[in-house]
Structure 1
Amino acid sequence: MSAGGPPPKGGVSPCTRRVMNLAHFLRRSARRHGEAVGLAWGERTWSWAETDARVDAMAAALAERGVTKGDRVLVQARNCNQLFESMFVCFRLGAVWVPTNFRQTPDEVAYLGRASGATAMICQADFPGHEAAVRAAAPDLRLVVSIGPSKFGPGYDALVAAHSGQAAPTAGVAHDDPCWFFFTSGTTGRPKAAVLTHGQMAFVVTNHLCDLMPGTTEADASLVVAPLSHGAGIHQLVQVAAGAKTVLMGGDRFDADEAWALVARWRITNLFTVPTIVKMLTEHDAVDRHDHSCLRHVIYAGAPMYRADQKHALAKLGPVLVQYFGLGEVTGNITVLPPRLHALEDGPGARVGTCGHERTGMQVQIQDNDGRELAPGETGEICVCGPAVFAGYYDNPEANAQAFRDGWFRTGDLGHHDAEGFLFITGRASDMYISGGSNVYPRETEEKMLEHPAIAEVAILGVPDRTWGEVGVAVCVLRSGAALDEDTLLAWLAPKVSRYKLPKRVFVWDGLPKSGYGKITKKAVRAELEARGCLPLDRPDDAA
């Protein structure tokens, strides 16, 4: 199956190299740690051997119903043991796992089904509207399996029981055989299917264990606080490879008290999340009521973490923070800032503001618009190459042509290196705006605003302005019990940033819109500003 990406040049194509099927990670853990707990969810637990046997049975059931190597299997489900298993079911068959974010609408999921060419679907019974929408939109769909009782397909657990003791042969795979369609968030348009492959993901798992969680073994335990459909799924694949147990939270919504109780109960040693969830975890009073001394790696990614939030988390948890920078297309493998480089206090030895150095086996370059490498300190587009880069976007040659240049993947993020090669992210290229002829990178001003004791969250975006071309609009969320008006905040901020970086307007909301993975999405903030009648701006131009 071609992703439409750049073909290999010279030598033997990696497509001809047989590699380990990723489902072997589960088989290996079942052989080595058979009766140990591999997965826990609520009061239920499954041993490694039990999980492997269930995957075998479900793979046999799907194979009997015509699912074969290369088929795309769409999965619409909240975090549950069946979602966890479905990854390995697909891998074992050589099929392609196509997980959705369960919070997406039926129309959005229908688009994913059509765009991926899904031939089968595993759908939780709670989502009959999603199943119907996919069935109507995906012409190749021929099988739907239901997690829980429903009217739209055979039951997942009934199929597992009916095929207990059976096993479909593990498919042989080559380096570039697809295993996962990792749909992008679609911040600039329709989501695109980034093609992840067996060979690429074997490197990703090894790299995560090397650079993010060194020393992880079967004695460890990992807590899942995000949907398994994206970054959390990659993180849990790493846990399976190491034989470390996975613990799922019981409810659909994030609950900090439950999370800290599970940390204490299961002696959780690592978790993966985004900065906003780290903030919620460490600002909740439950952090002081539960023992979390077992934590060694609290890994955050998906967005830079503001320095004020970083300091608070370090004060609460100690030196356990691990930051990485990496898009879905590079499966999280661009940079790492390990615990030893997270400093509580600012000073000469503190690596403040950086997302770290290059990951092992990866190369990062800052390039100008023509693809020329820029010197340290110069801002340009962050580009990357290495074994963790995806194979390309599925059936989307135009997107591939834009995403790759001379073998480099163009992230769309802006930043610069220092003299030692530490990377500093300025922001998304799409976030930058030009005010009065000067480039404005909102993150710098956001960092300053978060130093105000009343502000908990902030997002700044550029909007059209008749006088200056574009100006900034800030949306803030205040800390509980705090009060702050627009004029007071702008007066406080004025001495701290250049005048052209000062937002023209400040709006205070109860909360900022976030993606299903807990990230603040400026596309959604802009849409909400328009919905509330805040845009276009109606203030006099001399207020800029």
Structure 2
Amino acid sequence: MSAAGAPRGGVAPCSRRVMNLAHFLRRAARRFPDAVGLAWGARSWTWAELDARVDAMAAALAARGVTKGDRVLVQARNSNQLFESMFVGFRLGAIWVPTNFRQTPSEVAYLASASGASALICGAGFPDHAAAVRAACPDLNCVVEIGGTAFGADYDALVAEQLGRAAPVCGVEHDDPCWFFFTSGTTGRPKAAVLTHGQMAFVVTNHLCDLMPGTTEADASLVVAPLSHGAGIHQLAQVAAGTKTVLTAGERLDPEEVWALVERWRIANLFTVPTIVKLLTEHPAVAEHDHSSLRHVIYAGAPMYRADQQHALRVLGPVLVQYFGLGEVTGNITVLPPRLHAAEDGPDVKVGTCGVERTGMQVQIQDTEGRELPPGETGEICVCGPAVFAGYYDNPEANAAAFRDGWFRTGDLGHCDAEGFLFITGRASDMYISGGSNVYPREIEEKLLTHPAISEAAILGVPDRAWGEVGVAVCVARPGASVEEGELIAWLSAAVARYKLPRRVFFWEALPKSGYGKITKRAIRAELESRGDLPLEKPAQASDR
């Protein structure tokens, strides 16, 4: 028996040094210095210009005391500066902490405090956010303003001062944090998922392998979502391939602008969410612009409803790519490539699947005790592999709840078929129990969306004295269409069991969505309560007795 602490297999322990992710930008600048790396509105920057600007800003922050391990909070709309700030942070060995620009000052102040931010890069349009962060972080020692000098040093002025200088690229190891990826906070306060240099190198490689194979420096990618979240992960993969990134110029998503940019730049891929795919493919501009360059329209964040999927495939052709994943696994759970999408139903078409395991990842369906369930049985979707995050920052309780026997528990419910295709039933928190039977809202939502008058639908479980819980549906009608509540429930009764039928149907002009385009059921529930539509059973009044 070997002595305690002796190396296993005769291999001496060593540092797990890995490539600093900022090297992706440096490599693109060396290989394609004069090629466009980023375009935004009427402006564009070559790879060499971007690399020089990142060097300059890294030098400016280093001169202000930012060093390895420091957290750099970024509050900004999509811009070249936001694009650059990721690589600035990486190059210094600092941790990039991007926010969703739509968040309120108090929400951003919480993210700053929870992450321990010591530096802030903030757009000039967010002075209240900057003030809130300053108040929440007394140790904040560096504030840089994008587009002004009202509350911080001007970003572009600092770059101009430091051009030609560079801070040394920080050496990093596999588990060194590079990004605090905040969850959306659907079940409480947002949590900072810690992404690392080694983990993210795998994620980027996997994205290029599984989501957009064949992507090269000859291609262009369009950004239609905030770079602070999944679009930022996608953009990092584009830089790794030397693929130019194109940002939309408007402050709001404009389908006309999107399709014009697809035609102008010969866009090969874009990343978005199902609700945006629906919006883009239902807009008349899609027929007015050439989109034949598209090879991969990647959607994630939620499965796409079948009716919307069929419409998009008929409009765009076989270019849809679905992936399932969450911030904690940075998207790397399953993939459904174009060849497995089909516009028409048939015996060989797996309707409703989100695909098969990503390369290097393993999915297991588990019961409440952590036992693996056989094909066809519904349980919690759990995953392991190199894309799983390092854990939540400074949150041991959340980490204990998120991991079991080495498996990351997604909180999503689903089942696998005999071939390993995954079908998501919904969030564990969305499921409700009516009369002792489990009801999965997504199944009923899918049925509602096949009605010709319904454009969007969401179902929530609410308390009921007789049955424990019943469903409530909130729907959005298509333009020019109308349907009555009773008529819709009667129509639905032919497609789903009686216990699954919603007790009430409410019609709204639109469903509330998160800053990333996802329908948010917590906001729907709050709106129902504010309108006086919940609870369904009103408390007894004195006059009722």
Report matched runs for 1:187-336 at 5 Å.
187-336=186-335
1:355 aligned residue = 354
Match of 1:516, SS? coil
Q: Is residue 2:471 matched to residue 1:472?
A: yes
Change in CA separation of 1:154 and 1:354 when aligned onto 2, cut-off 3 Å: same
Within the alignment, does 1:488 sit opposite 2:479 as a pair?
no
Q: 1:252: Cα distance to partner?
A: 1.2
- Stretches of structure 1 that go unaligned for 5 or more consecutive residues are 1-8
Compared CA separation, residues 10 and 134, structure 1 to 2 (3 A): farther
Matched AA of 1:524: A
Percent pairwise identity? 82
Instruction: Tell me the equivalent position of 2:180.
Output: 181
| Residue pairs, 1:412-491, within 5 angstroms | 412-491=411-490
CA contact (8 A) 2:77 2:101 kept: yes
Task: Give the AA of the match of 1:508.
Answer: F
**1:506 correspondence with 2:497:** no
* Inter-CA distance 219–13: structure 2 relative to 1 (3 Å threshold): farther
Letter in 1 for 2:135: A
Q: Aligned pair count?
A: 532
Shift of 1:143: 1.0
In structure 2, the CA distance between the partners of 1:14 and 1:67, relative to structure 1 (3 Å rule), is: farther
Normalised to the residue count of structure 1, the TM-score between the two structures is 0.96
Aligned partners of 1:15 and 1:176 also within 8 Å: no
SS at match of 1:374: coil
- Give the 3-state SS of the residue equivalent to 1:356 in structure 2: strand
Is the CA contact 1:14–1:175 (under 8 Å) kept in the aligned structure 2? no
Query: 1:10 Cα deviation (Å)?
Result: 12
d(CA) in 2 for partners of 1:171, 1:423: 40
Between the aligned partners of 1:170 and 1:367, the Cα distance in structure 2 is: 43
1:108-152 per-residue CA deviation (whole Å, 9 max, x = no partner) reads 000000000000000001000000001001232111100011321
Structure 1 runs (4+) deviating above 4 angstroms are 9-15
Query: Which residue in the other structure is 2:4 paired with?
Result: none
Alignment correspondent of 1:159: 158
Inter-CA distance 18–537: structure 2 relative to 1 (3 Å threshold): same
CA distance in structure 1 between the aligned counterparts of 2:15 and 2:462, rounded to whole angstroms: 50
- Say if 1:264 and 1:291, in contact at 8 Å, map to a contact too: yes
1:150 paired to 2:152? no
State the shift of 1:351 in Å: 2.0
SS in 2 for 1:16: coil
Match of 2:20 in 1: 21
For 1:470-489, what per-residue CA distance to the aligned partner results, in whole angstroms no more than 9, with x for missing partners? 10000000100001110110
Structure 1: distance between partners of 2:104 and 2:488? 38
Quote how far apart the aligned CAs of 1:13 are.
12
Change (3 A) 1:11 1:403: farther
Q: Distance in 1 between matches of 2:15 and 2:287?
A: 54
Give the corresponding residue for 1:36.
Answer: 35
Partner AA of 2:109 in structure 1: A
Structure 2 unaligned spans of 5+: 1-7, 540-545
Question: 1 CA distance for matches of 2:312 and 2:29?
Answer: 36
Q: Given that residues 306 and 351 in structure 2 are in contact (C-alpha distance below 8 angstroms), is that contact kept between their aligned partners in structure 1? A: yes
Deviations 1:314-368 (A, max 9, x none): 0000000000000000000000000000011111121211000000000000000
SS at match of 2:502: coil
Instruction: Quote the Cα distance in structure 1 between the aligned partners of 2:261 and 2:307.
Output: 26
What is the SS of the residue equivalent to 1:181?
strand
CA distance in 2 between counterparts of 1:45 and 1:261 reads: 17
In structure 2, relative to structure 1, the CA distance for the partners of 1:221 and 1:186 (3 Å cut) is: same
Task: Indicate how the Cα distance of structure 1 residues 52 and 448 shifts in structure 2: closer, same or farther if over 3 A, else same.
Answer: same
Structure 1 residues 14 and 295: CA distance shift in structure 2, 3 A: farther
**Structure 1 partner of 2:109:** 110
* Residue pair 1:494, 1:502 contacting (<8 A) in 2 also: yes
Q: Please report how far the alpha carbon of residue 155 of structure 1 lies from its aligned counterpart in structure 2 after TM superposition.
A: 0.3
- Distance, in Å, in 2 between the alignment partners of 1:84 and 1:533 is 44
1:70 pairs with 2:69:
yes
**3-state SS of the aligned residue for 1:250?**
coil
1:92 touches 1:170 (CA, 8 Å); kept in 2? Answer: yes
Contact conserved, 2:275 with 2:518, CA < 8 A, in 1? yes
CA distance in 2 between partners of 1:78 and 1:313 (Å): 28
Aligned pair in 2 of structure 1 residues 13, 85: CA closer, same or farther (>3 Å)?
A: farther
Larger RCO, structure (CA 8 Å, separation 6 or more): 1
RMSD of Structure 2 on Structure 1 (CA): 1.5
Q: 1:490 to 1:244 in 2, by over 3 A?
A: same
TM-score, normalized by length of structure 2?
0.96
2:464 and 2:537 in contact (8 A); partners too: no
Question: How far apart are residue 12 of structure 1 and its match?
Answer: 9.4
CA distance in 2, matches of 1:11, 1:119: 43
Rate the CA distance shift 1:228–1:310 in 2: closer, same or farther, 3 A: same
